Amino acid sequence: MDLDARTMLADSGLRITAPRVAVIDALVEMPHAAADAIFAKVSETLPRTSLQAVYNVLGDLATHGLARRIEPAGSPALYELRVGDNHHHVVCTHCGKVADVDCSVGHAPCLTPSETHGFAIAEAEVTYWGVCTECREASVATVH
Ligand SMILES: [Zn+2]
Ligand SMILES: [Zn+2]
């Protein structure tokens, strides 16, 4: 996967701007980041960027298929650059950490519903909920 921001923008026909490049660079470092975390990162290099500008860039990237937006229940929208493979997510119920889980059978949709209601199914988005390694170790440490 080519993660060069300028190439990605050029390939998708988006104009190359400093905020767009900075947002993509931030997402390379922080997959599954919320807009405010991306904004904090982008502000380090572009101090005059606004949160609204970051939202606009994220919207453009999502619309053009460069970024994917996921919304685990109870969490703000998270953005990532891994798109188009219908992968799933495992979310920690304690700390909110998110990790990628490959599609169950490697192609989309990877789950066949028992009833499609006549829909042509294109995608299956699964969120697995659990407790991450760090949180499990932390709870074991407090018990003993
Ligand atoms: Zn956790
Ligand atoms: Zn992901």
Please report, rounded to a whole number, the percentage of residues in the chain having pLDDT higher than 90. 74
- Statement: 5-70 belongs to CATH 1.10.10.10: yes
Q: What is the pLDDT of residues 5-19, one digit of tens each?
A: 999 999 999 999 999
Which H or E run includes 143? helix 133-143
Task: Please report which ligand is nearest the Cα atom of 72.
Answer: 2
Q: Output b/e per residue, 21-39; b: 16+ Cβ within 10 A.
A: bbbbbbbeebebbbbebbb
Q: Say which CATH architecture domain 84-143 belongs to.
A: 2-Layer Sandwich (3.30)
Range list for CATH 3.30.1490.190 in the chain? 84-143
Q: How far is the CA of 91 from the centre of ligand 2 (A)?
A: 10
Range list for CATH 1.10.10.10 in the chain? 5-70
Q: How far is the CA of 31 from the centre of ligand 2 (A)?
A: 7
Q: How far is the CA of 64 from the centre of ligand 1 (A)?
A: 32
| Continuous H helices in 12-110 | 18-29, 35-45, 51-63
Q: What is the pLDDT of residues 93-109, one digit of tens each?
A: 999 999 999 887 767 77
pLDDT for residue 143: 59
From 24-38, 58-72, 113-127, the region with the lowest mean pLDDT: 113-127
Q: Which residue has the higher pLDDT, 3 or 9?
A: 9
8 A C-beta contact, residue 139 and residue 96 = no
pLDDT for residue 81: 95
Quickly state the pLDDT bin for 144 (edges 50, 70, 90): low
pTM: 0.85
